[in-house]
Structure 1
Amino acid sequence: MEEDRVGVTGGVASRYALKQGRIKNEDILICIDVDAESMAEMKTTGTNGRPLIRMECVKQAVILFIHNKLFINPDHRFAFATLSKSAAWLLKDFTSNAESAVASLRGLSANKTSSRADLTLLFRAAAQEAKISRAQNRIFRVILIYCRSSMRPTHGWPLNQKLFTLDVMYLHDKPSPDNCPQDVYDSLVDAVEHVSEYEGYIFESGQGLARSVFKPMSMLLSHPQQRCAQDDLDIPRSLAKKVPVTEATNALDHHNGNNIQIINN
């Protein structure tokens, strides 16, 4: 932070200005879990009247994410991978073409069997691609969409290599004697903290509702270089926390005599 001091005597404020910095274009690798649990039915129904499955809902949310991200900055680029026992490329060549990105998702399908996931190959591929992105003055991000309620992911990645940022969206079943979503979530939190260069976000939902997929994806539109800590994230705020306009206090604008209404959110 660059300091521009106005005065040094008591009662005289100091003025500060942030150093100018360039927000870099992003290369985003979206890795989608294709375990059998990604085919679980959700509570939300589709246009055919049948319940949506997680995979289809995730596809729709990712497609919307891509279009919105490119609307914000058409120079962002995307690639895709799948996660079964380990990660595998679905679309390795990063692209800013929305149609090409969407086309790569159309044939995506889930496995019929469940297995434990090893994230090591995903992190290894991300680290290699991140070095290429850095050479082009870009930053690298991985968005992992994970759907297993009873199988904690593992990885063997050194702690001192933080070359990219990891975001996670975790969709799971309700806790039961047959699963352990809290343990899985804790493992995912550890992974985010273990590898992330900037502030990585993790969201989870066991509600089985479409909005529990679309809302986190909209929040992941945030650029890693512009993020607050997730503990400070409160978007959108609960309506119960908002103060009605009629109860807001009024403050006097001493510059022009106008009343400025302050709403305490």
Structure 2
Amino acid sequence: MSVPTPASSMNETEALLPALPQKIIFCIDVSNDMTGEISRVLCGGADDTFLEPTSRIEVVKRLILRFISLKLLANPNHEFAVILLAERAIWHMNFTSDKLLLEAAIEEIGPLGTFSSFDMNSLLKTILSQVDINNSEHFIQAIVIYGRSGCIPSDPSKELLSQMQWCTSFVFDMLYIHEKKSEVNCPQDVYNRWLQLESDVYPGWFFDFGRLARRRIALAMMQLLAHPLQRAEQEDMEIEELKDITMHEDTLILLDDDD
């Protein structure tokens, strides 16, 4: 069976791949690190929800709810589920398109404690046990939101990774919110561990943010609205729209050089 050609490698005369209904899994860090303050998000919603500094978890929850609303406008057949990331992955919400159920499940999410470890294999096993990633009738997108700067996840199993990385109906994306490098924080090492999840079939979009992210987290969530079968590779994205943001706010950073 031939592997579908991602939109990024198509020439201009080829048609885009069909935008299959998606099953989208939000994998949300629920460590106390997510209580860290993040600066105001100027485009946090029509009502300027985040005009004041807000915790990471509240910013993430608001943007996820907006993401769900916009995706359902595009296709009401999309379904969403939620996994919580404590020391292990916890299945929190079954797949549904019901906005009220999703809102209730997301609103109740809050930090569950301080964790010195995270079992990466528990996340991979949870996903594989809850959804058939080889079902050609839908496309699965896992969006990881992680906020720990000093907790490197465990090394993922090569066998589990192989099942996911060669799948033609699955992609991992990530938003990583972190503190500066210090004696206790190693954000580059954390980020590199998550990068091990990236696939050669459908490369994920990986974003990182410092405490002064402001509009960039909202922008990243907006970019992830693109259907994975029809989006370009991340490095090929047009960045002109970022110029105004990066001139006045934080810029894309090299984690080890964050100052």
Same fold by TM-score, threshold 0.5 exceeded? yes
| 1:35 alignment counterpart | 31
Whether the aligned pair in 2 keeps the contact of 1:28 and 1:78 (CA below 8 Å) is yes
Counterparts of 1:48 and 1:215, CA distance in 2: 14
1:198 and 2:194 aligned: no
1:112 and 2:116 aligned: no
Counterparts of 1:21 and 1:63, CA distance in 2: 27
Whether the aligned pair in 2 keeps the contact of 1:27 and 1:140 (CA below 8 Å) is yes
Whether the aligned pair in 2 keeps the contact of 1:57 and 1:210 (CA below 8 Å) is no
Whether the aligned pair in 1 keeps the contact of 2:40 and 2:51 (CA below 8 Å) is no
Larger Rg: 1
| 2:251 alignment counterpart | none
Give the gaps of 5 or more residues in structure 1: 1-14, 241-265
> What displacement does 1:53 show?
0.6
Counterparts of 2:51 and 2:16, CA distance in 1: 52
Whether the aligned pair in 2 keeps the contact of 1:199 and 1:224 (CA below 8 Å) is no
| 1:213 alignment counterpart | 217
| 1:81 alignment counterpart | 83
- Calculate the TM-score normalised by the size of structure 1: 0.75
- How much identity, in percent, do the aligned residues show? 31
* Aligned residue runs from structure 1 range 53-202, under 5 A: 53-92=55-94, 94-131=95-132, 134-135=134-135, 137-154=137-154, 155-158=156-159, 159-162=161-164, 163=167, 164-193=170-199, 197-202=201-206
Worse-matched range after superposition: 200-209 or 18-27? 18-27
Counterparts of 1:180 and 1:52, CA distance in 2: 24
Counterparts of 2:151 and 2:210, CA distance in 1: 15
Whether the aligned pair in 1 keeps the contact of 2:176 and 2:209 (CA below 8 Å) is yes
1:44 and 2:40 aligned: yes
Give the gaps of 5 or more residues in structure 2: 1-10, 42-47, 245-259
The 3-state SS of whatever aligns with 1:22 is coil
Counterparts of 1:212 and 1:199, CA distance in 2: 21
Counterparts of 1:54 and 1:197, CA distance in 2: 31
The 3-state SS of whatever aligns with 1:66 is helix
The amino acid that maps onto 1:25 is P
The amino acid that maps onto 2:116 is S
Superposed CA RMSD: 2.6
Structure 1 or 2: more strand by fraction:
1
Whether the aligned pair in 2 keeps the contact of 1:86 and 1:122 (CA below 8 Å) is yes
Counterparts of 1:136 and 1:20, CA distance in 2: 16
| 1:255 alignment counterpart | none
| Pair 97,234 (structure 1): closer, same or farther in 2 beyond 3 Å | same
Aligned positions, number: 222
> What displacement does 1:234 show?
2.8
Counterparts of 1:188 and 1:20, CA distance in 2: 29
